[in-house]
Amino acid sequence: MNFDEQPDHYTIPEDYRESEKETIKWEKQHDPGCQPGPDGEKPKKCNRRRRIFTGTVIIFALVLGTAFWLRYMNPYVTDARERGYVVKVEKRGHLFKTWEGDMILQSSFTDSTNVYSRDFSFSVENPELALRLQEYQGTGRQVVVSYKRYSGTLPWRGSSANVITSVEPVVHDAGPVCESTETSNSMTETTEPVDSVVSGQI
């Protein structure tokens, strides 16, 4: 063995040094099926994978968007009506200030079989409608509200799933008032002859 030519490997046989493994090279390995051909066109295998991945992403986005629309944007109850007394209407919220309110329903007074339950809570998207509801707050006047109900709530829409769309005051029947006026008229008619008789005697 020549120690001058191989000073660092004099203890290793030459046959073993020739069979040493090559150093691993950490280079990006490309899929041979996606390598461009001689004309610059990619093979069908690579295009198929991309189409499957793109189709999966599109289907997932459509399903997610449809579920969001059905739960938060599309009301499952519309044109519902409740009758009662407005107890409170105010703006609430930390980040999003929304109009929230409570009502005592008329049905809670007429139904004696059930124990009095919590007030009817609602949200109002229209500020003008919220101010109109505030006018009936604490007045003891009955109102009829129309609302729609969603499956879920959004922070910028309100904390309640019930959203008021309109409000109308309850107009009571004026029949008893007419009867009282007729009664008073009849009383005046009966008193007139008595007065004439008394004056004639005098």
- From residue 116, give the alpha-carbon distance in Å to each of 58, 83, 111, 137, 189: 50, 16, 9, 20, 50
Dump pLDDT digits (tens) for 116-168: 565 899 999 999 999 999 999 989 999 999 999 999 999 999 999 999 999 99
Using pLDDT thresholds of 50, 70 and 90, give the confidence band for residue 195: very low
DSSP state of 79: E
Which H or E run contains 130? helix 127-135
Segment 52-60 shows an average pLDDT of: 96
pTM of the predicted protein model:
0.61
What pLDDT is attached to residue 62?
Answer: 98
What pLDDT is attached to residue 26?
Answer: 59
Q: Residues 6 or more apart from 169 whose CB is under 8 A from it?
A: 136, 141, 142, 143, 144
Q: Are 121 and 145 in contact (CB under 8 A)?
A: no
Q: Residues 6 or more apart from 119 whose CB is under 8 A from it?
A: 87, 102, 103, 104, 105
Asked if pLDDT for residue 70 goes beyond 80, the answer is: yes
* 145: nearest Cα among 161, 127, 169, 119: 169
Q: Are 87 and 104 in contact (CB under 8 A)?
A: yes
The domains of the chain are located at: 39-72, 77-169
* Fold of domain 77-169: OB fold (Dihydrolipoamide Acetyltransferase, E2P) (2.40.50)
What pLDDT is attached to residue 35?
Answer: 60
Asked if pLDDT for residue 90 goes beyond 90, the answer is: yes
Asked if pLDDT for residue 82 goes beyond 70, the answer is: yes
What pLDDT is attached to residue 107?
Answer: 84
